[in-house]
Amino acid sequence: MRRHPLLSYLCVICVLLQVSLAHALAGDDEVLLARAAYDKKNNFALTDSLSRLKELQHPLAPYAEYWWMLSNLDDATPETVNEFLNRNTHIPFADRLRGEWLKKLGKQQNWALFQEVYPQYQLQDPAVACYAAEANALANDAKAFEAARVLWMQAKEQPGNCNQLFDKMQNANVLTDEDLVARFRLALSENRVTLAKGIANRHRAIDATFLKQIDTVNANPQKAITKKTVSVKTPFGKELYLYALNQIAKTGSTQALNAYKFVQPLLNAEQKSYFYGRLAILAAQRHEPEAYQWFRLAEHTQLNRDQLDWFARSTLRQSNWPQLLEVIALMPDDQAEEPNWRYWKGRALKAQNQMLEANGLFAMLSTERHYYGWLAQEELEASMRAQPMEYVPTDADVEAFAKSEAIQRAEALQRLEMRWEAKLEWAAATDNLTDEQLIAAAEYAARQKWYDLAVITADKTKAVHNFNLRYPTPYRDLMQPASNDQALDEAWVYGIIRQESRFMHYAKSGVGAAGLMQVMPATAKWVAGKVGWSNYHHGMLHDLDTNISLGTYYMRYTSDLFNGQETMATAAYNAGPSRAKKWMADVPLEGAIYAETIPFSETRNYVKKVMANAHIYTQRLGLNNIPLKKRLGVIPAKINVDSASISTLNE
């Protein structure tokens, strides 16, 4: 029987693909050996692995060569480094190697070559930036130092080589005593005591006694205030008192105000205002109604963006719409134009019957595809409608994207569970793509079951969208029965998972939460005990079925604690039930206001994103439509929740 020519062709293609895959897989072990050799500084083994990977033409051979270059950078000639960078210019690690080379050149004070290489550097590394400022100073002197002031005014420790730059800036009188005091305050505001001591030590009048006083104040700020143990011979002393007041204010506003009376006569108008600004933001985060007045008393100091946000939230928490408009007017233009403040400005205008202005804001915002866009749609009384799949990529579009060398490397890196490097390759491959190309890339990622990359990529589109890719529904054969078993809204479950793990079952957080639903080990053990799983062990957390069962049980638990109030239950899932209760008000509170005034930025953003996710998943899953504002609901008054029933589990 004669074989059809097309069939013969396909067979040949299949054989070639199998050979190619086998070749790649054969080299995978060598990649891991190369990585291990690099980590162990075994240059002989690394050279051996690199040679074999080049022979195999493995897509990750450039990575082995990159590790070899890092290991041998001290001995590499400029010609060798340049040749490598030119040959690998489109691979993400190229600029990381360039940064390491620049640090080497800066350390050697090879400024001529440094100046040649630096314009090609794209990443942000303060060590490189400090060397660049030194190099520029050779040509521009104080002008270059002035441009480097931004490197000084940081609340965190800068790399060691930056101290050389700061010494030169101070010797050139570019860093003044006022600059030292300003950064001293900044460091203390972030509790970076060691950094603050280093900054103070740059001042000619600071001695070892004062440096010890910093430690004393840090250990017992209340005693330092009441005993007035800090010397105020230099401006640093008063700043240290402000630090002590700030530390006391973290405990309580009343204690801080009482302590303030002891040192108030020592402070000037700006310092008094600074105290009130710090007191106000801490009070606002505790939802104290006096916060607004304390912000008003901070009139002689510059409020930062975070303080202005909480100034506004303090008025929002009280539903004081005229005051909210006043505060938004104080914000820099770019801050006032953020979606949250455009939405709440519209709400404030609407509350005062300024409907023309309010609807103008809502109309613009309603075209944007996010939480505030959906809320703005509802303010316009726009009916909730299914999001159209404006663009569906063709197979040819997807295949064209998949052919790039960057994606071949990303595939290999994913296969070897080198996911950080894979994401860097993906980011480079999807940079500067059109909306249509981004959707094709997202479709490719979805086909590979790289759901996190699919979601992230589809989320980047501006005008053309595909909501099936933005809001995928994998594992529904597990999700639907688990949701039904716990009598949960399946859209809410999907909303949680999209935010927690982007549907990647191997996900693990820095605090130990694991799996699809990012369940904490202690929570998993507690749930397993509740449901009678006597054979449960920690290794089961990454099993899909087990993780979903544990996560949905805990969602049911948090939902029951708050009588089915999803906004509070979502906050509890992220930050723990006791905190979710603590953030309630003494009166019923609109769910959107509760979410906006959550003190933890991580939880605040988490709640808004989960609820927006659930809003869209209602449509994606064909469930009954629920307006987002209704889903957010009304948070009952604090007295209506039984404190004894709320566990501190997972906090």
DSSP, res 43: H
CA distance 306 to 17: 55
245: tokens are 């007041």
Left if phi > 0, otherwise alpha if psi is -120 to 50, otherwise beta: which for 389? Answer: beta
Q: How many CB atoms lie within 10 A of CB 485?
A: 12
Helix (H) or strand (E) holding 530: helix 521-531
CA distance 199 to 179: 10
- CB-count burial class (<10 Å; 0-12, 13-18, 19+) for 146: middle
What are the respective helix, strand and coil percentages of the chain, to the nearest 5?
A: 70, 0, 30
CA distance 243 to 191: 9
From 463, 418, 406, select the one nearest 438 (Cα to Cα): 463
CA distance 628 to 377: 10
Q: Is 390 a catalytic residue?
A: no
Helix (H) or strand (E) holding 600: none
Contact 637, 588 (CB under 8 A): yes
CA distance 217 to 77: 52
- Dihedrals φ, ψ of 514, to 5°? -140, 155
CA distance 156 to 153: 9
At 634 the three-state DSSP class reads: strand
DSSP, res 507: -
CA distance 635 to 572: 13
User: DSSP strand E in 552-644: where?
Assistant: 589-590, 634-635
Q: How many CB atoms lie within 10 A of CB 529?
A: 11
Q: Active-site residue among 500, 566, 590, 596?
A: 500
Greatest extent of the chain over all pairs of C-alpha atoms, in Å: 104
From 196, 204, 212, 202, select the one nearest 246 (Cα to Cα): 196
Residues composing the chain: 651
Contact 81, 101 (CB under 8 A): yes
CA distances from 471 to 244, 365, 490 (A): 48, 21, 13
CA distances from 69 to 65, 78, 551, 586 (A): 6, 12, 45, 62
426: tokens are 């993906």
CA distance 374 to 389: 17
CA distance 160 to 526: 46
The separation between the first and the last C-alpha atoms of the chain, rounded to the nearest angstrom, is 71
Residue with tokens 């509070």: 568
- Dihedrals φ, ψ of 423, to 5°? -70, -35
Contact 553, 486 (CB under 8 A): yes
**Cα 168–169–175 angle (5° rounding)?**
145
Residues known to be catalytic: 500
